[in-house]
Amino acid sequence: MLYLASKSPRRRDLLARLGVDFDTIDLDIPEQRQPGEAADDYVRRVAREKAGAGLLQVVATPGAAVLGADTEVILDDEVFGKPADADDAAAMLRRLSGRTHRVVSAVWLVSAEREAEAVSVSNVTFDRLDEARIARYIATGEAFGKAGAYGIQGAAEVFVSRLDGSFSGVMGLPLHETDALLHRFGFVQAAGSEA
């Protein structure tokens, strides 16, 4: 049985596209970067902690495997998490304006017998954003609950002048890498579904 250790509706929707049956586990894992921890290592660690904590909840289920993922926006080695409020969101978008940032999405799949990891790194270039454009976007409410204060699958898609990498990875679950992990663990698509 496959479990997704995530509260994210985007992640649930993305995993469903792969046509595998799964249940979700809601967890509250602290997402705090350690002093001196490299940004990429932080993303990988949080994803693994989510998967590991989820496995502890379902380890009694025969054949249980838990998928944990974390996605962060990184600019100049600074990790842009979810904005605390509208001012924080505006500050993030101002920093991203006219620049290229990295989006690192780490995925861990763990079971009682083994674990495996995949990482997707995408480079996202934003157009220049003026204050009015930033304010209009924040007013949509989309900026909240998303790393870097934007969702590429929504109104912010027009901010992106260039994407080198994985669109689904920027959304929160890189489908190519996730599909490969699931196949390694023997999870296959349900009958009649397409990836």
Q: How far apart are CA 65 and CA 75, in angstroms?
A: 33
Q: How far apart are CA 55 and CA 27, in angstroms?
A: 11
Q: Which amino acid is at 88?
A: D
Decide: 47 and 68 in contact? Cβ < 8 Å: yes
- Element (DSSP H or E) covering residue 138: helix 131-139
SS3 125: strand
Catalytic positions are 70
Among residues 178, 173, 185, 184, the alpha carbon closest in space to that of 1 is found at 185
